[in-house]
Amino acid sequence: MYREWTRGFRRCRRDCRDAISQIKEGTLFEWYETKTQEIKSFARKMLSGGQELDNVNQLSDSETNLAIPSNLVTMERHRGKTRQYDIIFMTARIAKIIVDVQEERNWAYSWETLNMFFRNPETRVAAGSQFQKMFLRKFRTQDPNTMPPCYELGKTTGMRPLSPLRKNAEAVMPWKDIGQQPTLEWISVGKDADGSLYSEKELRAVMDAVMDKDSPPIRFVIPCAQNWATWDAALFLRSEKEEKRELHIVFLQTIIRPDHGIYAKGLNLVRDAIPKNGKGGEGFSVHYHYVLVLMTCNEPISRIPKWRHVLLDSNEQKKDTSWRRDNLRQYIMYVPLKELLQPSSKD
């Protein structure tokens, strides 16, 4: 429990002393719940505009115009610069609590808060989890065909088709008309005693299960937080055409800017785990899809981006030439904030 607290809150020396004291008294669980409720209270004040906050204990974020309680954030200075910094939520746990509060109702500053999640890889996971919940909700309680439409990235940029007359511009996704619920799978980190990656074994197990004719044909895969720069979730789907088996892998990446880069690490991890032949020696073809899930505030008119090269990393911007237009289809999905933030009771 103490380790969970240090990951979740790690605020200051006073909180450390309080936590240690509560451990000695055997009341850490009660204290932990009190801290959670305190954070929720500060989050509600921030999301409503900060009018109820004490000016002494708040920070003003120039990029979002948010009035932010100092209890929720820390300042991360830019490398090599002493006067430039970003205000970020202190921990992934605090970000998750704020997400829970966001889903209570339609707050005035939900969009600005969502943007802050993307400033740090740890807290960005909270935004990705919101999309994962929305996606699963569509499958489990509604119709996957009501998913926000996807538009395939092409050679040139073009206006987003807003008119119903342009509905034929929507891409037909592999999940269309699928009549079964996805099975949820998690991909972990670390290595086994023999040095092999847990993730490789787990991905192969997922693929074997999907391609098994006696198993449900769809899996919804969520990776660990360390894969955040590559994909937030993926769908593994089996289909059969003219007695030929196909495996469709759809990567889903949550973004707030349409020029977000696509990185090779997580894509290669999945590709390397695919056996040359399917289970039992029967081969199947593999099709890769990558969906940029663009969060929008009020459904503004946007442009459909061009197909982009997959990069080896975010620093050198070198291309991974093994990924091309003919083996990685790319799409953009526009998800308005009102679609994303649904009350948690509906999940």
- pLDDT on residue 40: 93
Do 156 and 183 lie in a common domain? yes
Per-position pLDDT tens, the chain of length 347: 445 444 555 555 556 666 677 667 777 677 778 888 989 999 999 998 867 766 657 888 888 888 888 888 887 776 666 667 788 888 888 899 999 999 888 899 999 999 999 888 888 888 888 888 888 888 877 677 778 888 898 877 666 554 433 555 788 888 887 777 888 888 887 777 776 777 888 888 898 888 888 888 899 998 876 555 688 899 999 888 777 888 999 999 999 888 888 999 889 989 988 876 544 445 788 999 999 999 888 765 567 888 999 999 877 789 999 999 999 999 999 888 888 877 654 44
- pLDDT on residue 281: 42
Alpha helices in the chain (DSSP H): 2-8, 13-25, 28-47, 92-102, 110-117, 121-141, 198-211, 264-273, 337-340
Do 60 and 88 lie in a common domain? yes
Residue 143 identity: D
- pLDDT on residue 35: 83
Exposure of 257 by Cβ count < 10 A (0-12 exposed, 13-18 middle, 19+ buried)? exposed
Do 166 and 255 lie in a common domain? yes
Range of the domain at 153: 131-346
- pLDDT on residue 81: 61
> Which of 95, 119, 143 is a domain's end point?
119
Do 103 and 141 lie in a common domain? no
- pLDDT on residue 228: 55
Confirm whether 66 is domain-assigned. yes
> Which of 87, 119, 151 is a domain's end point?
119
Do 213 and 294 lie in a common domain? yes
- pLDDT on residue 16: 63
Confirm whether 126 is domain-assigned. no
Do 81 and 113 lie in a common domain? yes
- pLDDT on residue 70: 83
Confirm whether 296 is domain-assigned. yes
- pLDDT on residue 346: 44
- pLDDT on residue 279: 46
Confirm whether 32 is domain-assigned. yes
Exposure of 37 by Cβ count < 10 A (0-12 exposed, 13-18 middle, 19+ buried)? exposed
> Which of 119, 154, 189 is a domain's end point?
119
Confirm whether 145 is domain-assigned. yes
